[in-house]
Structure formats: C-alpha cells, structure tokens
A and B are shown apart, each in its own frame.
Chain A
Amino acid sequence: MSSVVSLHQAGRSFGKLEALKPLTLSVEPGEVLGLLGHNGAGKSTMMKLVLGVLAPSFGSVRVLGEDPRGAHAHTLRTRLGYLPENVSFYDNLNGREVLHYFARLKRIDRRQADQLLERVGLAHAADRRVRTYSKGMRQRLGLAQALLGEPRLLVLDEPTVGLDPMAVLDVYGMIDELRGKGTSVILCSHVLPGVEPYIDRVAILCQGQLLATGTIDELRQQAGLPLRIEARGEELDARLGHQLAEIAVQLVSHDRQQLLLESPPASKLDALRLLLQQPGISDINVQAPALDALYAHFDTVGRSAEAH
C-alpha cells in the first residue's frame, strides 16, 4: 500500500524566513506519527502543507496520492480530519448545531454527528450553547468534528490540552482504535509523558528543520543516551563503582539500600551481570530514556548546531 502522506523535499518559506526547511517524510496507513517541536519549530507549517491550507514553496506534498491543493482537493478533503490547536467554535450555537454544520459541509449524515457526540462524551451537553462549554468540552467537540466521515488521515494539534487525565486516556484510546482500523494519525503534542505507547514513529522538528525521525527505539539508538539502572537491596557496597567504571557505567548515587547507575546502551547487560553477582541485591529496575529526554536531547543538539 502506498503512503497516506508523503512529503518529498517539501518546505515553505515566508519571504526570507524559512519556516520549514525541505524535508522528506512519509506516514503509512494505520501509522501514528508524533510530531514534536518547540513553538515556531515548523509543526503548524507542516500540518498546513499536509492539509492543503498552504502551498509548499519547494518540493512536493502528496496526501492519499493526491496533491492537497490540486484539482481533486475537494474529494480529498472529505477524507481528512483536523483538530486545530485553539478552536472555540460558535458561541451562539449548541454543540449539536456546530457539529451538524460541519457535517453538512463535509457531506456527512447528521446521524453520524450525533453518534460522535455520544462517543466523545458530549451527549449530555449537546443541546447546550457552546458558550457554556469548558475548554475540555470544546476540545471534545473539536475531536468529534475531526472524526466526522471516518477520515483516512487525522491531523490532531495538541488534542489533549485542557483535558483531565481520564479524558486524555480516552483520547489516546480512541486514537488506538482508529489506528487499528487503518487510519493514519499525525499527532502534534507538547505533552510528552504518556503519549509513547500510542505513537509508532516520532518526527522532531527544531527551527524549521527535521532533526530526527524514527521509532522511539531508533531514536534511542541515534541519541545514545544512557540508561538508568536502579538497584535496591540491603548492605550494598559502593566499591562496585570501580568495576562499573571499567565497562563505562557511572555510579550516580549510592547508599546502603540503593544504587543508581547510568549505563550506555551497549553496557547494559554487563552492568546487570555485575549487579546480579552482588550479594544483598533484591530488585533491579532498568529505565530506557523516555521520549521527553530524547526530545530534549535532539532539541539541544539542533539548537547548538544552529548556533554554529
């Protein structure tokens, strides 16, 4: 199957400012791509290119095999779903009316709109004016709007902002369900913790440049950040530090009950073997660098490269 989104050397500049430097990236069917970057990193520009709101200054953009600004853009757009970052909708309409309006524009039966209201948990508030909605409720309404017409590609800009933790899990669950049905998702988020299990691949943007893409494991390999190993037990001996240093593992902190080590990925097993030989060890906990640490790493590298 061909890619749902493929950007080939695509970029966009506004006058002298290169908002997005040429990048090549694709999203496959049923894949969830996490798009990470600081404010002004080019995330919005990239989403606008994919959605056909902006034309690329260079390169080409294909969505479901079509040019998102080409002759077939109209039919293409009925198969896209988008949740903008800050959308407050029409205050004087109620939730149902808002969703019916967007459903009509997308040529979708209003019954589906009503089902979606139920699905995002807004059924009870559907006949209240949007003016009375909380930020989280507006976000749910936006999500229902994005899901209209069972889109093949879903572009979500900060979908979990303003949601309580349970609702966040709901949203991720929904994304997972859609992924199972073959929907591709581009998920733009600042909120990194918790998102890892739901994304297949990550693309990190910094100052308009694509710094890294790959699965989280691939990014870990690229970054080469140390693993954290925590060992607990009784009467632990800190003299282990010398032996650890020989295999390039660092003892970060220690007391009699706990040892904290940082190990390069390659030395992980050696470090574990050493620990297991120690008497008194009762528990070992290995932590690979989380997505926020990876993001921080690439972002710092990107910024310092820019400075030179």
Chain B
Amino acid sequence: MSGILVLAEHEGGQFKKTATELLGKGKELAAALGTELNAVVLGDAPASELGAFGAAKVYQVGGDFSSYATLQIVAALAAAVKQAQADVFLTPATYTGKDAIPRLAARLGTGQGSDCTDLRVEGGHVIARRPMYAGKAYADVRIDGKPAIFTVRPNSFGQPSPAGGSAEVIAVQADLASPIEVQLVERRKPEAAEVDLTEAERIVSGGRSLKSKENFDSVIRPLAASLHATTGASRAAVDAGYADHSEQVGQTGKTVNPVLYIACGISGAIQHLAGMRTSKVIVAINTDPDAPIFEHTTYGIVEDLFEVCPMLTEAFNKELGT
C-alpha cells in the first residue's frame, strides 16, 4: 500500500468542500503517478461516500473529535498515515493544517509544503507551487520525506463531480490520549455563523471609507448576506473599530482565496492585496479612479460605495432570492 492520502475534513455529518476539492485533485495526481488515492477521516462521518470522488480506501480513526485537540489529531493522523503507508499526504491549510500538521511532520521526520496553490506531477514526484512573501513571489516545492506533506489553500482547485462508487472503509486504532494536551475552558462563537474567511468562496470587504461602525454594519454586512458571503475588512477599518480583527484581510490579517471578492472603499495597499490577490474575480468600488486596487480588479466601479452597495444588495437579493 502507498499512494496519495487526503485528509477529508467534515462537520455536522457532512464532508467539507476542502475534502472533495482535494480528492478531485488527488485523483488526478494519483493517475499521473500510477498509484492509489485514499482518504483519512477522523471520527464519525459517512466515509464510504468518498468513493464517489475516487478514494479506493478510507482510513477511519475512531474517537471523539468533536472538540479540537491538537495532540489527539496528530496521534490519529500518524497512525493512519503509517497504516496507509502514504507517499503523499494532502490536507487543507485550515486551522488543523497550520496547528497540527507541522507537529505531525516533525513527529514523522518529514517535510511539509504549506498553503500550496497548485500541485503537479513531474519526474515521478508531486511538485507544489506556493506563494511566499505574502504572495509577492511564488516557488516550487519538492519534498523527499515520506510522506511528502502538502497543506493546500482552500479553493485552489475546482469541485469535482461525484462519479459513483463507494470506498472500502478501514478502521484505524490509535492511542489518542496525551498527558500534555491542553484543556478547553470556554468556546466563544460569533453570533452569525459565516463561513471562515480563509475558506469562504465569496467575501465582501469594507475599508475606512465606511467612516463608522454603524455604516460598516448597515452597508457591508447586508451586502455580504445578500451573496451568502463572509464579511471582511481592511486593516484601516479594523484599526478604526468598524470590524473585528478576526475579519481583517491582509498581510497581518487573513489570507483569503475566494471565487468572488468585493472590495468597498478599499484603496488597495500592498499589505491588503497580499491577503486577497489570488481571488478569482475581484470587484472594487471606490471613488478614486487612481486607487491601486483597480490595477488588480476584474471589474471596477468608480462611484460612491454608499450609493453602489445598497443597490448591489438589492440586486443580489433579487438575483439569488436572499
């Protein structure tokens, strides 16, 4: 056994988009390498369904993974990777990908390529391409450890269509308890459950031109809601108190990779662009025709966001029935 192993994340009994995205890409890589595609699932989820996306086997680690616990995840994945004898391990660059996966890499004495935006096969190896310097440069990464671990930026690849078929589910036993695991004291969830910025397919961001938190809340949030989008903000807007720092997009905030990014009243400083420049479609609304952001947009509107945004919200509400 060997091949490509994909971490299939799930929530509420359903596989997340990152799971199917990575299986779709993994299937392509496995075919090019002439090897098998398998998946690993932590805890309770309909594992055999992953066969529809090309997984031959799903290694399912039993246990209660409902609460995030770093060392439990590392122990579970180490056991699954070992049992699968994976050559390549693909995971999404989500919290798990940043918090637990490097720990796994160290435990296994192998290498990791982080936040990769492309993967290909060359010379019998998987080569990743990834952004560095906040996206100002890109480079190829090749790993000679086993498994070669790549964490992938969500939405780097499209969603595959299910082809039917079910995977063989193999139970993995692992000793998950760790004496050094930290203890959860309290969990604070936001009121509106928006998709995490780093995984969001659509984002609407506001800048300092909103002038007040009240304006930000009454102009940007309804526009985001009309698109089922997640709300983001520039650093200037966060510093001015219009939005929470967990909503900040940019070099010292979050890096996002949506299909659609709408920037309202954001000038496009280098540090902001660093956080969203790989978005597939970028729309900017700004009264300044010379704003740097317009050099990076797919579509731009040089008008006042206080006029444009409410009209857009109404139009999207009609278009999408929101």
Q: Do A and B come from one complex?
A: no
Residues of A within 8 A of B (CB): none
Residues of B within 8 A of A (CB): none
